Chains A and B, each alone.
Chain A
Amino acid sequence: MLIDAFSWLMVILILISSGAMLIGKDWRIQLGALAMQYLAAFWLITRHQPFVVGSAKLVTGWMIVAALGMTRLSLPETDEDQPTFGPESRWFSMVLLGIIALITAGATPRIEAVIPGLGLSVIAGGLLLISTGLIHLGLTSEILRVIISLLTLIAGFEIIYAAVENSILVAGLLALTNLGLGLVGSYLLLAGSTPTVTDLEEDME
Chain B
Amino acid sequence: MSAPAIWIFVPFLVGGIILFFIHERFSAAIGGTIAVLLSLSALIFPIDTALLVGTVSLKISASVQILGRSFIFSTADGPLLAVIYGVAALWFFGTQASGTANRFVAIGLMIVSLLTASIAVEPFLFAALLLEMAAMLVIPLLVPPYQKPKRGVIRFIIYQTLAMPFILFSGWMLAGVEASPGNIGLTTQAGTMLGLGFAFLLAIFPLYNWIPLLTEEASPYATGFLLWALPMFTVIFALDFFDRYAWLRTSPQLSSAVQFAGVFMVASGGMLAATQRHIGRMMGYTAIAETGLIILAMGIKSAEVVHVTFLLLIPRGLELAVWALGLSIIKREAFNLQFSDVQGFVRKYPIAVIAILAAHLSMTGFPLLAGFPSRLALSQELASQSLFISFWTYAGLLGLLIGALRTMAVFVMAEENSGWVVNETWIQAGMLGLGVIGLFILGVAPQVLQPFISRLPALFEHIGQ
Q: Which A residues fall within an 8 A CB radius of B?
A: 114, 130, 137, 141, 143, 146, 150, 153-154, 157, 160-161, 164-165, 167-170, 172-174, 176-177, 180-181, 183-184, 187-188, 190-194, 196
B420 at the interface (CB under 8 A from A): no
B169 at the interface (CB under 8 A from A): yes
Smallest distance from the beta carbon of A198 to chain B beta carbons, Å? Answer: 9
Give bound CA distance, A157 to B149, whole Å. 27
- Given A160-B169, A180-B132, A180-B136, 5 further pairs, Cβ under 8 A: A146-B154, A172-B67, A174-B129, A177-B132, A196-B145
B395 at the interface (CB under 8 A from A): no
- Can you spell out 8 A-B residue pairs with CB atoms less than 8 angstroms apart? A114-B186, A154-B165, A169-B66, A170-B129, A173-B126, A173-B133, A176-B133, A188-B153
The answer on a CB contact under 8 Å between B149 and A188 is yes
B161 at the interface (CB under 8 A from A): yes
Contact among A137, A167, A194 with B69 in the assembled complex (CB-CB below 8 Å):
A167
Contact among A150, A157, A183, A193 with B158 in the assembled complex (CB-CB below 8 Å):
A150
Smallest distance from the beta carbon of A137 to chain B beta carbons, Å? Answer: 7
Contact among B68, B137, B161 with A150 in the assembled complex (CB-CB below 8 Å):
B161
State whether A170 and B126 are in contact (beta carbons under 8 Å apart), knowing that A154-B161, A191-B144, A191-B145 are contacts in the complex: yes
Q: Which 8 pairs, one residue from A and one from B, show the smallest C-beta to C-beta distance?
A: A192-B148, A157-B165, A173-B129, A169-B67, A169-B69, A180-B136, A168-B67, A188-B149
B residues 145-173 near A (Cβ < 8 Å) are: 145-149, 151, 153-154, 157-158, 161-162, 164-165, 168-169, 172
Give bound CA distance, A160 to B69, whole Å. 21
| A170 contact set on B, CB distance < 8 A | 126, 129, 168
| B143 contact set on A, CB distance < 8 A | 187-188, 191-192
Give bound CA distance, A154 to B154, whole Å. 17
B139 at the interface (CB under 8 A from A): yes
The answer on a CB contact under 8 Å between B165 and A188 is no
Give bound CA distance, A183 to B140, whole Å. 11
B130 at the interface (CB under 8 A from A): yes
Give bound CA distance, A184 to B186, whole Å. 36
Most B CB contacts (10 A, CB to CB) among A160, A181, A194 go to A181
| A161 contact set on B, CB distance < 8 A | 165, 168-169, 172
Give bound CA distance, A192 to B158, whole Å. 20
Contact among B133, B153, B154, B158 with A177 in the assembled complex (CB-CB below 8 Å):
B133
Contact among A137, A153, A164, A194 with B165 in the assembled complex (CB-CB below 8 Å):
A153
The answer on a CB contact under 8 Å between B172 and A184 is no
| A187 contact set on B, CB distance < 8 A | 139-140, 143
Give bound CA distance, A181 to B145, whole Å. 17
| B140 contact set on A, CB distance < 8 A | 187
| B165 contact set on A, CB distance < 8 A | 130, 153-154, 157, 161
| B147 contact set on A, CB distance < 8 A | 191-192
| A191 contact set on B, CB distance < 8 A | 143-149
Smallest distance from the beta carbon of A127 to chain B beta carbons, Å? Answer: 12
| B148 contact set on A, CB distance < 8 A | 191-193
Contact among A153, A174, A177, A192 with B146 in the assembled complex (CB-CB below 8 Å):
A192
State whether A150 and B149 are in contact (beta carbons under 8 Å apart), knowing that A164-B172, A169-B126 are contacts in the complex: no
| A114 contact set on B, CB distance < 8 A | 186
Smallest distance from the beta carbon of A114 to chain B beta carbons, Å? Answer: 8
How many inter-chain residue pairs (CB < 8 Å) link A and B? Answer: 93
Smallest distance from the beta carbon of B23 to chain A beta carbons, Å? Answer: 17
| B153 contact set on A, CB distance < 8 A | 188
Closest to B139 in A: A184
The answer on a CB contact under 8 Å between A169 and B68 is yes
| A190 contact set on B, CB distance < 8 A | 145
| B172 contact set on A, CB distance < 8 A | 161, 164-165
Closest to A142 in B: B154
Contact among A137, A153, A172, A192 with B149 in the assembled complex (CB-CB below 8 Å):
A192
Smallest distance from the beta carbon of B70 to chain A beta carbons, Å? Answer: 9
Give bound CA distance, A160 to B168, whole Å. 11
Contact among A173, A181, A183, A196 with B161 in the assembled complex (CB-CB below 8 Å):
A181
| A177 contact set on B, CB distance < 8 A | 129, 132-133, 136, 164
Smallest distance from the beta carbon of A95 to chain B beta carbons, Å? Answer: 24
Most A CB contacts (10 A, CB to CB) among B66, B67, B186 go to B67
| A168 contact set on B, CB distance < 8 A | 67-68
The answer on a CB contact under 8 Å between B161 and A188 is no
Give bound CA distance, A168 to B162, whole Å. 22
| A153 contact set on B, CB distance < 8 A | 161-162, 165
The answer on a CB contact under 8 Å between B154 and A143 is yes
| A160 contact set on B, CB distance < 8 A | 169
Give bound CA distance, A130 to B165, whole Å. 10
Give bound CA distance, A169 to B145, whole Å. 32
Closest to B137 in A: A180
| A165 contact set on B, CB distance < 8 A | 168, 172
Smallest distance from the beta carbon of A165 to chain B beta carbons, Å? Answer: 6
Closest to B162 in A: A153
Give bound CA distance, A169 to B132, whole Å. 15
Closest to A141 in B: B154
Give bound CA distance, A92 to B186, whole Å. 35
Give bound CA distance, A167 to B151, whole Å. 35
B residues 182-228 near A (Cβ < 8 Å) are: 186
B residues 116-146 near A (Cβ < 8 Å) are: 126, 129-130, 132-133, 136-137, 139-140, 143-146
State whether A157 and B169 are in contact (beta carbons under 8 Å apart), knowing that A141-B154, A168-B67, A191-B148 are contacts in the complex: yes
Closest to B145 in A: A191
Closest to A168 in B: B67
| A141 contact set on B, CB distance < 8 A | 151, 154
Give bound CA distance, A188 to B153, whole Å. 9
| A146 contact set on B, CB distance < 8 A | 154, 157-158
